[in-house]
Amino acid sequence: MASPFAALPPELLLLIFSLASTHRPTAVALSLVSHWVRNHVEHNLYHTVSLSSSRSLVAFIATLDSKPYAFAHNLVKRLSITALGPINNIDQVLKKCTGVTSLICGFSVPSYVHCAWSLKQPVAPLETTTFRLPIAPHKQYLIALACRDGLDMSIISPLVTHLRIQLTPATTFESVARLRELPYLTHLAISYRHGLYGSVNSIKEMLGPVLEEGRLKILVIHVTGAGCKAHCKEIEKWRTDSIIEVIGTPMQRCRFPTLVIAERATAVLPQWEEGDNIWDVNPSHCSY
């Protein structure tokens, strides 16, 4: 019995495959049908790539090595790397996927920077010796191991507009203050466990230099851990006082961003993998 698809024009088949491949499991299944079908579903199949294990990292490198040079740049737009390594493979992926606009980093930053430097060719005397991420996404999320050893500006894209970081005992006030060097940063989310800072004054002091730049539009603060409700209320009072403070002062009216407070830190990776807009937040939300 002939396939019902045989009578359909190629343009209609292409439309059907394109729509069906927006569902990732379906896209994977379709990629096994034929080379013709695979070529037409690859756009959706590789648009969002999540590498959570060494095996997936190595397999993805093998796939990229079998593709044309521009394949990764043109197709991979959203990339998540939470695999522990191999670190040199993480470096390879980042150097190949230069078209990424949204990046989740969940690997050890010091290990990556050390590896990237060791693989880098000797620089000329006039070249800069400052390490920079080889890609420039506009949205970036530092989670898990990426924040364990503190905040390293070299892992943050200079073109980032939306940034999420986790504060740990290794995070210094000076490193957070350096976020003011990011000229396009408009959305900032921080998460930390209650008890890491004794009062909201520490948070105010830490974020002061960034807020003073006046570029932030959204500031999201996620607090976790037992007993964080009182801390959230202190943050809410800070928001209220700041709004009152700028009323009647036109030069400073836009200085303080919309502040969103949440008692629970949302799981970024599952939301990101599902394509949800992590920054689609309700400015009035305060879950305590």
Distance set, CA 255 to CA 160, 220, 250 (Å): 20, 15, 10
Tell me, rounded to whole angstroms, the distance of Cα 123 from its chain centroid.
29
Q: Tokens standing for 8?
A: 């359909």
- Per-position pLDDT tens, the chain of length 288: 455 555 556 655 556 556 555 555 655 555 555 565 566 666 677 888 999 999 999 999 998 998 888 888 998 999 999 999 899 999 999 999 999 999 999 999 998 988 877 766 444 444 445 678 889 999 999 998 999 999 999 899 999 999 999 999 999 999 999 999 999 999 999 988 877 877 788 888 899 899 888 899 888 888 877 667 777 788 888 877 765 544 444 434 445 677 777 655 567 877 787 766 667 655 444 433
Q: pTM for this one? A: 0.79
DSSP of 49-98, one letter per residue?
EEE-SHHHHHHHHHHHHTS-TTHHHHH--EEEE-----HHHHHHHHHH-T
Provide the β-strand partners of residue 188. 163, 219
Distance set, CA 107 to CA 87, 113, 138 (Å): 8, 11, 19
